[in-house]
Amino acid sequence: MLLFLYLFTLLNSFSPEVKIEYAWLRPAAKGMNSALYFNLNNVSSKADALYKVTSKIAELVQLHATVKNDDGTMGMKEIKQIAIPANAVVKFEPGGYHVMLIKLKKRLRVNSKIEFTFYFKAGGKVKVTAVVKKE
């Protein structure tokens, strides 16, 4: 039992676990853009970072942040990776971080489900299914 606990702790210390929760995206027409939102819940004691998301649904998938400029205008910028501190939740939500889905290959209808693959620096690849929701 002690050996099992030791191995579990050791494994956990080298392999951060980030749970992807509440994944949803906006409805949009084919050829247009949408955004994917979710919570990254790091339940481990090690920090990690999300650096890529892929999906067949769009021609291009990027990590983005919505930013407010000094003149009050709103814009977006691509970000290379997003740090997820240990035992913390990083929210991707409207008006903030989002995964940008550029040039959708098909129409996103409410309640349809779309597959994504998340890439973490330490945690590796994680497959996620997100649902299309109206806000």
Partner 1 sequence: MNSRIFFFCISLSIFILLLSNGCSKNLPEDRPSGLKSIQLLNQDSSIVNFPDEFKGNILLLSFIYTNCPDICPMTTHNMQMIQEQLKKEDINNVRFAELSFDPLRDTPYILKEFGDIRNIDYKNFMFLTGNEQEIRKILNTMNILAIPGDTAKTENGGIVYFYTHTDRITLIDKDGNIRNEYSGSKANIQQIINDIKTLGD
Contact footprint for partner 1 (CB under 8 A): 26-29, 32-35, 59-60, 62, 64, 66, 69, 71-78, 94-95, 98, 100-103, 107-109, 134-135
Complex with partner 1: residue 8 or 115, whichever CB lies closer: 115
Complex with partner 1: residue 32 or 126, whichever CB lies closer: 32
Helix (H, G, I), strand (E, B) or coil at 87: coil
| Cβ count near 105 (within 10 Å) | 12
Q: Which amino acid makes up residue 48?
A: D
Using alpha carbons, list the distances in angstroms from residue 113 to 3, 31, 129: 42, 18, 6
Question: Cβ 104 to partner 1, closest distance in Å?
Answer: 10
Complex with partner 1: residue 75 or 80, whichever CB lies closer: 75
